Amino acid sequence: MAKKKIVLTFPPERVEQPITYHLVKDYDLIINIMRAEVHEEETGLIVLELEGPENKIDEGIAYLKNQDVGVQEAARDIALNEDDCISCGACTAVCRPRALHLNPDTFELEFDKDRCILCGLCVRACPLKLIEVKF
Ligand code: SF4
Ligand code: SF4
């Protein structure tokens, strides 16, 4: 049995459809939903772990992509070198769950690791390469 942690982005027209149910029913996958959010513009985001035979995981992911669901592999961990951070805010612009944000009083970067969905988008956004993810 293999395991894969992925980040799914649902367009508004897919948010209310039972897409994850099909992963269980049609692909015999065990799913563990780690985070689920619906954003203001009504897109949805789910971080989940899939468990099952590797070929079933691949088929399930192909099914998701066919349904116009964005699929991104999630990192296992994230590390931020806060000492060298210049609080430019570039990483905050791509961080949808607001795990990274600038404190409005001090203008310093704050990182709330509990909100992080491990999407890894901040890694490329940082001009100083201060953020690392481990897959
Ligand atoms: S990986 Fe980076 S961009 Fe993604 S949620 Fe975590 S802190 Fe935000
Ligand atoms: S992009 Fe890099 S330097 Fe800028 S605030 Fe984020 S971590 Fe700090």
Strand partners, 47: 7, 35
| Tens-place pLDDT, residues 70-85 | 998 887 788 999 999 9
Residue nearest to atom 6 of ligand 1 (CA): 116
State how far the Cα of 77 lies from the Cα of 94, in Å rounded to an integer.
Answer: 18
pTM of the model: 0.62
Range 59-69 average pLDDT? 94
> Quick one: what percent of the chain has pLDDT higher than 90?
56
- Ligand 1 probe mutation, 80, 116, 135, most atoms within 8 A of CB: 116
Contact 20, 10 (CB under 8 A): no
- Ligand 2 probe mutation, 82, 91, 107, 111, most atoms within 8 A of CB: 91
